[in-house]
A = this chain, B = another copy of it.
Amino acid sequence: MQERSSVYRDTESRFRHRRREGEIVTALRAATIEDVARRAGVSRAAVSKVIRNAYGVSPAMRERVNAAIEALDYRPRVAARAMRGSSFTIGIELPHIGNPFFTKIVAGATAALTGTEYQLIIAPADVDGEEGVRAIGALADRQVDGIIAISPLVAPEWLERLAARVPVVMLGRHDRSVAYDTVTGDDAEGTRLVMEHLLGLGHRRIVHLTRSEEVTRPGSGNPHAIRLERYLAHMHDAGLDDCIRVVRTGLDEESARLDTRALLDAETPTAIFVGNDELALGTLRALNDHGLSPAEVSVVGYDDVDIASYPAISLTTVNQSGEAMGERAVRLLLERIQGRTEPTHFSVEPTLKVRGSTQPVPPEPAP
């Protein structure tokens, strides 16, 4: 930074001289719009119009400008453009880059953006709560033209204030707002599919392994909150209040493994409904650690990540299209950038993938 003090700008020749440890280093400065204008013999405004495909440029001028751009290998500085308007950047906040379901969302978003002039950037958070807010804030500070926030742990008011400045799509959470759009899975329906499947197999002692209390706070609209709430409702409706058992864990496979182990040290349920597939893999490992097979303890996940269908894993889970969600989120953002103001909410339908990890309940051993 202090180097800038010794940068001599040489406007005519495009050389930049800087003093580094005594000696003067000369390097070719990147072309600016000014350089292009001078070379093409036109004004900066003209070049600007050409690169923005704006109205009112003669074909002849367009051609000369494009030639100059080519010759100088000119690329507009995004920071400068951002100061006057758009950064042509869409930002997505990713709570946990290790989760393959989030990865699918990104793939969908990337696909929806190819062919447009927008670039996707990901701000990884990798820890709950504070970190997510930090990442979203970092995107906002970078003047992105739109933000996709994945189930952020923040108050709706906070998001609304953000959405007043920049288009926001909230992905995952079920609370709605007129300020931002939402893309969700139908977690109530997904949970219904899971619970009916397990109950239909005869299971009664069904444990629900889920995230922290903070994440599943009732009314928060977080997907895990909905899944927990519906789990409780289905257990109650089935007359199984006595069998309700909720176990908490962290956000990665290893936490789930450890917490499942602790559970199994104390008791052995006949089925475990796990908040998502990544955690379910940890549960499966723990079961393995305890020498328990699917015939003894059934496991259901959520998301249908690729590895769930792997034959040796064969995890029963709820499929929801992360690609479709990411793609839709981008589309909603682009519409908002185009000027749409009515809030829009989009939901994807879940389906149950029944695989080998769920089996009919084993006969109760004599107590």
A-to-B contact residues, CB < 8 Å: 1, 3-4, 20-21, 27-28, 30, 75-80, 82-87, 89, 91, 97-98, 100, 103, 106-107, 110, 119-124, 126, 135, 137-138, 140-143, 164-165, 253, 281, 284-285, 288, 306-307, 310-313, 339, 341
Check B78–A1 contact: CB distance below 8 A.
no
Beyond contacts A100-B100, A106-B124: 12 other A-B pairs, Cβ-Cβ < 8 A, are A27-B165, A28-B164, A79-B87, A79-B143, A98-B103, A98-B306, A110-B124, A110-B126, A121-B121, A122-B124, A253-B306, A312-B313
In this complex, what residue of B is CB-closest to A83?
B79
Enumerate 17 A-B pairs (CB-CB under 8 Å) in ascending A order.
Answer: A4-B85, A21-B341, A76-B141, A79-B82, A79-B143, A80-B83, A83-B83, A98-B107, A119-B123, A119-B135, A119-B138, A119-B142, A120-B123, A121-B121, A121-B122, A253-B306, A312-B312
Q: In the docked arrangement, what's the CA distance between A3 and B336, Å?
A: 13
Q: How far in angstroms is the closest Cβ of chain B from A107?
A: 7
Query: Does the CB pair B307–A285 fall under 8 Å?
Result: no
How many identical chains are in the complex?
A: 2
Chain B contacts of A75 at CB under 8 A? 137, 140-141
Nearest residue (CB) in B for A120 is B124
Residue of B nearest to A309 (CB): B285
Interface of A is mostly: mixed
In chain B, what residue has the closest Cβ to A91?
B121
Which B residues are CB-close (under 8 A) to A306? 98, 253
Q: Which residues of B contact A281 (CB under 8 A)?
A: 307, 310
The distance in angstroms between the C-alpha atoms of A80 and B80, with both chains bound, is 8
Nearest CB in chain B: distance from A306 CB, A: 7
Residue of B nearest to A313 (CB): B312
- A137: which B residues are within 8 A, CB to CB? 75
Q: Which residues of B contact A285 (CB under 8 A)?
A: 310-311
- Chain B contacts for A313, CB-based, 8 A: 310, 312-313
CA distance A288 to B164 in the complex (A): 53
CB-contact partner of A142 in B78, B85, B122, B307, under 8 A: B78
Q: A20-B341, A141-B76, A143-B79 are in contact. Are A4 and B103 (CB under 8 A)?
A: no
In the assembled complex, the CB of A356 is this many whole angstroms from the nearest CB of chain B, namely: 11
A21–B340 alpha-carbon span in the complex (Å)? 11
Q: Within the complex, which residue of B4, B87, B253, B288 is in contact with A311, where a contact is CB–CB below 8 Å?
A: B288
Kindly list chain B residues whose C-beta atoms are within 8 Å of the C-beta of A106. 97, 124
Most B CB within 10 A of own CB, among A1, A75, A78, A121: A121
Residue of B nearest to A307 (CB): B307
- Within the assembled complex, what's the spacing in Å between the Cα atoms of A135 and B106? 14
A21 and B21 alpha carbons, distance in the complex (Å): 58
Contact of B124 with A77 in the complex, beta carbons under 8 Å: no
